[in-house]
Chain A
Amino acid sequence: MNKDKVLPHLFRTEYRKLIAVLYRHFGFEHPEIAEDIASDTFLTAAETWGLKGLPDNPTAWLYTVARNKAKDYLKHGNIFTQKVSSVIQTGEAYLPVTEIDLSDKSIKDSQLQMMFAICHPAITAEAQIGLALRILCGFGIDEIAGAFLSNKETINKRLFRAKEKLREEKVKIEFPESKAISSRLDNVLKTLYLLFNEGYYSSSGNATLRKELCLEAMRLNYLLIENKLFNLPEVCALLSLMCFHASRFEARMDENGEMVRYDEQDTSLWNEELIEKGKQYLSKASKGDKITKYHIEATIAYWHTIKADTPEKWDNILQLYNRLLITEYSPMAALNRTYAVSKVKGNAEAIIEAEKLQLNGNHLYHILLGSLYKDTDMQKAKQHLQTALKLAKTVAEKKQIKKDLDKLEAS
């Protein structure tokens, strides 16, 4: 590897490991310590390696430095607690001076435990995703702000408040009790699902960052599967869903970074390897008697990987959307169901179904109606696209809608 890239690369892979282990050690009572030690370790590395060149084993070097810094902190902290707190009665907890365990198992356990701690219903979904990106994925505040189309201050505040809340709630960084696994896992899966969707559907123009969010969600999902406690059907179903979606990464983006719609994609760009992986996890997911919404969505995604545009394909997709909506309503599923109706029963029927939805404030709703009307009622098709243009929030979306409008004008 190019020497200049070693440190950024290690930051990507090792920061998140250090911080998870340190967090587990110090707990949410001292959130700043873990982050300080992890950041400080990398600062020391940058300075030392800059002066003296790379050590033989940079990762081991980082671990040693982190371990020593943690030990120093504990010694210092305890002296302070012992000598001073008796006078000022801070009631600060006494932390034993133990080694920070940076073995592979300890790192993985720490990351998983951290995952359960962060995905806590006491904090908002946005805060959960933010903390996951910071602590489990080692993202910088800038990157998180980019992912949320927000700014540094807002994200910093949000993460700070979330950590405060976790401290107040006395959330422990540990594995859930065996009888609570299923309900705690629900929260974790929900966060991973949202993290993936943030990358897959978000309107952020930064394509690389978006893809990275998806890959991080998959990595964390895989971390769960690797541990036999959490290798459960719904976990496999979610990973299967992500694999099927991710298989279209290359096809859904053109060379200018613009979105290519499903029916306009070059199917030779679909990633067969990921489709195969998705099938494997879907078959693992079908063991057991529980059918979650991830199972239904993964099966829908499976049908989308089939290239031939047959009536059978769309009929299956429609039935699955029916089931999904009966299980849990979402506007996105309602719109996708309507698209499937158009494929199975034709546009006229789909228009009747679409107009019942009344999602008037949703630009995707008007895009759908625009495309359903375009063969029969040009005027209405245009009106819907113009409404969509007004409602769309991002430049990329507006551009896409304008393109559709131009196409209509030309036809």
Chain B
Amino acid sequence: MNDFLLIFRRDFNPDEAQPSPEQLQGMMKSWQDWMGSIAAQNKLVNQGNRLDGDGKVVKPGRVITNGPYVEIKEAIAGYTIIRAASLEEAAEISNGCPVLLVGGNVEVRQIVPM
């Protein structure tokens, strides 16, 4: 078993209108269901965190810009660490991630063991 970092990316400036409270509730539930399913397999290492939409990018020469989201459609929205036997299994687990339902994607990367 190895640990894998799942990076959730999505569009922070979606065209759709603000979701309703019911939709938000449904989104929350689908995340909890997905996480719960991973945890039930004893494969959740770290629940991780959701990241705020605001951010800054620091570049050489004291150039600091506001987050990269204006130009690109996908920004990191959060991350989770899971345990899996292989990269393939980790990808399979990510297949159920609710970020996919809102046009986002999951990047799966193995964490290099110490």
- Docked Cα-Cα span, A323 to B28, in Å, equals 12
The CA of A86 and the CA of B39, in the complex, are separated in Å by 63
Q: Contact between A357 and B40 (Cβ–Cβ < 8 Å)?
A: yes
Classify chain B: how many residues form its interface, as a range.
10 to 19
Q: Is the interface of A mostly helix, strand, loop or mixed?
A: helix
A interface residues with partner B (beta carbon < 8 Å):
318-319, 321-323, 325-326, 329, 333-334, 337-338, 353, 356-358
Contact between A356 and B39, CB atoms less than 8 A apart? no
Are A326 and B36 within 8 A (Cβ)?
Answer: yes
Give the nearest-CB partner of A325 in chain B.
B39
User: B41, A322: Cβ atoms under 8 Å?
Assistant: no
Which chain B residues border A334 with CB–CB below 8 Å? 39-42
Q: Is A325's CB under 8 angstroms from B40's CB?
A: yes
Contact B36 A322 (CB under 8 A): yes
Residue pair B40, A337 in contact (C-beta under 8 Å): yes
7 A-B residue pairings within 8 Å (CB atoms): A325-B40, A325-B44, A326-B47, A329-B44, A334-B40, A353-B40, A356-B40
Cβ proximity bits B34-69 to A, threshold 8 Å, 1 near / 0 not:
011101111010010000000000000000000000
A329 to B47, CA, bound (A): 12
- Chain B residues at the A interface, C-beta cutoff of 8 Å: 29, 32-33, 35-37, 39-42, 44, 47
Closest to B32 in A: A322
B44 x A326 contact (CB < 8 A): yes
Provide the residues of chain B in CB contact with A319, threshold 8 Å: 29, 32, 36
Total A-B pairs in contact (CB under 8 Å)? 44
Distance A129 CA – B40 CA, assembled complex (angstroms): 27
Residues of A with C-beta under 8 A to B42: 329, 334
Chain A contacts for B29, CB-based, 8 A: 319
Known: A319-B29, A326-B35. 8 other contacts (CB 8 A): A322-B32, A325-B36, A325-B40, A326-B44, A329-B44, A334-B42, A338-B40, A356-B41
How near does chain A come to B73, taking the closest CB pair, in angstroms?
Answer: 30
Q: How far is the CB of A344 from chain B (nearest CB, A)?
A: 9
With beta carbons under 8 angstroms apart, the residue of B32, B35, B37, B47 that contacts A353 is: B37
Q: Closest residue of chain A to B28, judged by CB?
A: A319
How close is A239's CB to chain B, nearest CB, in angstroms? Answer: 26
Given the complex, which residues of B lie within 8 Å of A353, measured CB to CB?
37, 40
Bound together, the chains give a CA A326 to CA B45 distance in angstroms of: 9
State which of A318, A338, A357, A358 has its C-beta within 8 Å of the C-beta of B33: A318
Per the bound structure, the CA–CA distance linking A334 and B36 in Å amounts to: 9
Q: How far is the CB of A291 from chain B (nearest CB, A)?
A: 14
Decide if A356 touches B37 in the complex (CB within 8 Å). Answer: yes
Report, nearest first, the 4 A-B pairs whose CB atoms are least far apart: A322-B36, A325-B39, A334-B40, A322-B32
A323–B31 alpha-carbon span in the complex (Å): 11
Are the C-beta atoms of A322 and B44 separated by less than 8 Å?
Answer: no
Measured in the bound complex, the distance between the Cα atoms of B41 and A97 in whole Å is 59
